Amino acid sequence: MTVEREGAVLFKGNPATLLGPEIKVGDAAPDFQVVDNGLQQVTLATDAGKVRLIAVVPSLDTPVCDTMTRQFNQQAANLPDSVAVYTISVDLPFAQKRWCGNAGIDKVQTLSDYQERSFGLNYGLLLKNLKLLARAVYIIDQNDKVSYVEICSEVTAEPDYTAALEAVKKLV
Residue 2: pLDDT band (50, 70, 90) is confident
CA atoms of 108 and 23, how far apart (whole Å)? 23
pLDDT at 101: 93
100 is catalytic: no
pLDDT value for 143: 97
Closest residue by Cα to residue 72 from 139, 138, 161 = 161
Q: What is the pTM of this model?
A: 0.96
- Tell me how far apart the alpha carbons of residues 19 and 118 are, in angstroms, rounded to a whole number: 11
Q: What is the 3-state secondary structure (H, E, C) of the chain?
A: CCCEEEEEEEECCEEEEEECCCCCCCCECCCCEEECCCCCEEEHHHHCCCEEEEEECCCCCCHHHHHHHHHHHHHHCCCCCCEEEEEEECCCHHHHHHHHHHHCCCCCEEEECCCCCHHHHHCCCEECCCCCECCEEEEECCCCEEEEEEECCECCCCCCHHHHHHHHHCCC
Summarised one tens digit per residue, pLDDT across range 18-48 is 999 999 999 999 999 999 999 999 999 999 9
Measure CA of the first residue to CA of the last residue in the chain; give whole Å.
Answer: 38
Which structural domain range is residue 13 located in? Answer: 4-169
| Structure confidence at residue 1 (pLDDT) | 77
Residues paired with residue 18 on neighbouring β-strands, in sequence order: 5, 127
Choose, from 65, 100, 125, 164, the residue flagged as catalytic.
65
For 163, how many CA atoms within 13 A lie in the half-sphere containing its CB?
A: 13
The per-residue pLDDT for range 104-141, each reduced to its tens digit, is: 999 999 999 999 999 999 999 999 999 999 999 999 99
- Is 38 buried (19+), middle (13-18) or exposed (0-12) by CB count in 10 A? exposed
Asked whether the beta carbons of 17 and 8 are under 8 A apart, the reply is yes
Number of domains in the chain: 1
For residue 78, the domain's CATH number is 3.40.30.10
Q: How many residues are recorded in the chain?
A: 172
Chain segment 132-169, per-residue pLDDT in tens: 999 999 999 999 999 999 999 999 999 999 999 999 99
